[in-house]
Amino acid sequence: MRLKRKDILAIEELTKDEIELILSTAESFKEVSEREIKKVPTLRGRTIINLFYEPSTRTRTSFEIAAKRMSADAINISTSSSSVVKGETLKDTARNLEAMNPDCIVLRHPSSGAPEMLARLVRCSVINAGDGSHEHPSQALLDLLTVKERFGRIAGLKIAIAGDIAHSRVARSNIHGFAKLGAEVSIAGPPTMMPSEIEKMGCKMFYKVEDAIRDAHVIMVLRIQLERQKTGLFPTAREYSKLFALDSKKLEHAAKDVVILHPGPINRGIEISSDVADGKYSLILEQVKNGVAVRMALFYLLMGGSRE
Ligand code: CP
C-alpha cells in the first residue's frame, strides 16, 4: 500500500485516515528493529538524501537508520560541509541533487515553507524534517505512536503542551495531529510565547502550567528555542524555569498515570527538571525508538509497494 501523495510536508494537510495508516504501518515495522539482523529488502535500489540545513541528532540519525534498515542507499548532506557554504541556493542544490535521480529528499531547513518549495522543484518525494517554526510532521507522528501505544487510543485523551509554543514546529504539528485523531489539546506558556493564531487551532490556552496539566493524560514539554528568539521573551532562564519548568512539584497537579514527552534536545533545569525527564512517567526514549519505525513507515508508504 502507498499514500496517494508524493510528499510529507505537514500534518495539517494529512487526513485522519492517512495518519492512521502511517501509525499502523509504523507499528508493523517496529519488530524489524528488534531482530538480530535489522534489515528488510523492501527499498533495495532506492536512494534517499538527508539534506539538513540545521543541526539534528535524533531526526537525521533515525531517518538514516530507517533508510538503511529498509536496504535503501542513504546519503547525508550536512550544509556545513557542502557547497551551501559557498553560497549555493536551495533551488540550485535541489536541481543538482535531482540530476542524480534520488527517490526521496528529507529536508530540514530554518525557513518555514522550504520543503514545500523543494517539493515543487523535484520529481522525487520530499519529507519535511522540520522547517522553521512551521511543522515537524515526523516528530508529531512518532509522538502520536508513542501515546497510542501507551493508552491504546488517541481519541478522548487530554494532551497538555507546555513551553515555547510560538517558535515550536513540534507544537504546531502535534496540535494538528492530536486534534485530527480526536484528542483535546491544552497549551501553556508565557504570553510572549503564545502565537496569536493559536486559539483558531482549537486549543485551550493557559498561562500557568499547573492549570494546563490538571487531568492531562499526556504532558508534552517543549524545548526553549533560543536560536529562534530575536528578542528576550523571558527575563532570565532561572525565572522561566521557576514559572514554567516541569518539575516534581508541578507534577503533583497531574494525574497519577500521566506520561511525559519531550522532543529533545532537552535543556535540563530550564524547561524540565532532570528527575522528571528521567523519571518513571517519562516516555522520552520511547519517542526516540518510535522515530525509527515512523520514518520506516513514511519511506515505505511513499516509495514501497504499489500506489493505491
Ligand atoms: N526532535 C528533534 O527534532 O531532535 P533533533 O533536532 O535532534 O533532530
CB of 205 within 8 A of CB of 247?
Answer: no
Residue 211 burial (10 A CB sphere; 0-12, 13-18, 19+)? middle
59 Cβ closer than 6 Å to some ligand 1 atom: yes
Closest CA to 177 of 154, 204, 209, 200: 154
What's the pLDDT at 199?
75
What's the pLDDT at 228?
60
133 Cβ closer than 6 Å to some ligand 1 atom: no
Spell out the per-residue pLDDT of the chain, length 308, in tens: 789 999 999 999 999 999 999 999 999 999 999 999 999 999 999 999 999 999 999 999 999 999 999 999 999 998 888 899 999 999 999 999 999 999 999 999 999 999 999 999 999 999 999 999 999 999 999 999 999 999 999 999 999 999 989 889 999 999 999 999 999 999 999 888 888 777 788 899 999 999 999 999 999 999 987 666 656 667 678 888 999 999 999 999 999 899 999 999 999 999 999 999 999 999 999 999 999 999 999 999 999 865 44
What's the pLDDT at 305?
63
Q: Which domains does the chain have, with CATH numbers?
A: 11-136+288-303 (3.40.50.1370), 137-287 (3.40.50.1370)
Encode 80-146 in three state secondary structure: HHCHHHHCCCHHHHHHHHHCCCCCEEEEEECCCCHHHHHHHHCCCEEEEEEECCCECHHHHHHHHHH
C-alpha cell at 101: 535521480
DSSP 166: T
Sheet-wide strand order for 125-131: 73-78, 47-52, 104-109, 125-131
What's the pLDDT at 307?
46
Peptide bond into 235 cis (omega under 30): no
Ligand 1: distance of its center to the CA of 57 in Å? Answer: 6
* Phi, psi angle pair for 34, to nearest 5°: -95, -10
What's the pLDDT at 304?
85
Closest CA to 261 of 202, 302, 303, 220: 220
137 Cβ closer than 6 Å to some ligand 1 atom: no
What's the pLDDT at 308?
43
The best mutation among 139, 142, 284 to test binding of ligand 1, ranked by most ligand atoms within 8 Å of the C-beta, falls on 139
225 Cβ closer than 6 Å to some ligand 1 atom: no
Q: Look at ligand 1, atom 1, and give the residue with the nearest C-alpha.
A: 263
What's the pLDDT at 227?
66
Coil, strand or helix at 10? coil
CB of 102 within 8 A of CB of 73?
Answer: no
128 Cβ closer than 6 Å to some ligand 1 atom: no
Sequence letter at residue 175: I
Coil, strand or helix at 155? coil
